[in-house]
Amino acid sequence: MRSARAIAHSNIALVKYWGKRAAVAGQTDDLNLPAVGSLSMTLDSLRSETQVGPSPADVFTLNGEAIEGGMATKVFRHLDRIWTARGEKGARPPCAVDSINHLPTSAGLASSASGFAALTLAGAGALELEASTATLSALARRGSGSASRSLWGGFVRLDRGELADGSDCVARQLFPADYWDVRLLVVHTARGKKAVGSTAGMEESRATSPYFDAWVATSEADLAAGEAALAARDLATLGAVMEQSMFKMHACMLATRPPILYWNGVTLEVLRALWEARQAGIEGYGTSDAGPHVKVLCASETAPKLEALLRGVPGVLAVDTVRPGPDAQVEVSP
């Protein structure tokens, strides 16, 4: 085994992923197969850096702090997947995993996308798995669906795929980071952690939301429209697709039993302020995930004006401006 260090950037979905495919009889749900495809933008300044190397026993540190149970269990289970992907039947060699999340503390952005993407690349490098990027993307997906999109920079599509083994459920880059000079404004509306984790929330939505089937049935059209708008660098069309995908996802969440409500009052005020700004000719489009923050896509030249405007919405704590980010990278040392 070798040592490997990887850097992967976080991403934000413009066309959303919410919900897993129902498990097929006899198949492990460890494949983490999404019910819908998704389309994302990789983010420049928000990244995870992970080192995997040989060790007398499995040890995991996150931001310099030793972690046991919970997150550590998920990390080592992910390394087991990588080891199994080599065709190995025996035990995996013990590993030291050191991970640092460079996400502004109040970012309100999940680190699971960048974290599992970096772990997949560093783990594959350290455990000497020779794999195509498609295989690595499928492996990252098993750690976290959004992680499969973080292997690439720029604008990325994760296809839903049809095969039961998930081998066609992989992400691919549509356009690199320098393709389009856009910005994402991260508008913070609360501090603290989300109430319902996305993995559990998705399962509850699939099982109980009467809107889940409609959400799934309309997703492919959103993906096609989003991809076409990206190809044309058509912000107004992409923005409309993006907002509708987000509202459909939250409608599906709200109709879950018990309801899943990630928003707060400020979330709604920010969305309203965006609509008003558009009417005044300041163009930005909103999205939000499993939390109360709003992320706004706009042209680079609009960003300063929109940032100032959104800082003025009562209850907004901070606004960060982020650019499209690069591909994930890995360095392997002997």
CA–CA gap between residue 292 and residue 315 (Å, rounded): 12
* Environment class of 101 (CB within 10 Å of its CB; exposed 0-12, middle 13-18, buried 19+): buried
CB 125 within 8 A of CB 334: no
With binding defined as CB under 6 A, does residue 111 bind ligand DP6?
no
* Environment class of 210 (CB within 10 Å of its CB; exposed 0-12, middle 13-18, buried 19+): exposed
CA–CA gap between residue 125 and residue 28 (Å, rounded): 26
Task: Report the residue from 159, 222, 289, 327 that binds ligand DP6 according to the rule CB under 6 A.
Answer: 289
CB of 216 to ligand DP6, least distance (A): 14
User: What residues does 172 pair with on adjacent strands?
Assistant: 157
Helices and strands (DSSP H and E) totals, the chain: 9, 12
Choices 21-29, 143-151, 300-308, 320-328; region in contact with ligand DP6 by CB under 6 A:
143-151
The H-or-E segment that residue 308 falls in is helix 303-311
User: Residue 315 has what DSSP assignment?
Assistant: T
Binding marks (x or -) toward ligand DP6, 234..273, rule CB under 6 A? ----------------------------------------
CB of 174 to ligand DP6, least distance (A): 15
With binding defined as CB under 6 A, does residue 17 bind ligand DP6?
yes
With binding defined as CB under 6 A, does residue 110 bind ligand DP6?
yes
> Among residue numbers 196 through 235, which ones bind ligand DP6 (CB under 6 A)?
198-199
Choices 15-23, 70-78, 164-172, 298-306; region in contact with ligand DP6 by CB under 6 A:
15-23
CA–CA gap between residue 47 and residue 146 (Å, rounded): 14
Instruction: Give how many residues touch ligand DP6 by CB under 6 A.
Output: 15
CA–CA gap between residue 225 and residue 240 (Å, rounded): 10
Nearer to ligand DP6, 84 or 199 (CB): 199
CB of 148 to ligand DP6, least distance (A): 8
With binding defined as CB under 6 A, does residue 46 bind ligand DP6?
no
Give residues in contact with ligand DP6 (CB under 6 A): 13, 16-18, 32, 38, 110, 112, 144-146, 198-199, 289-290
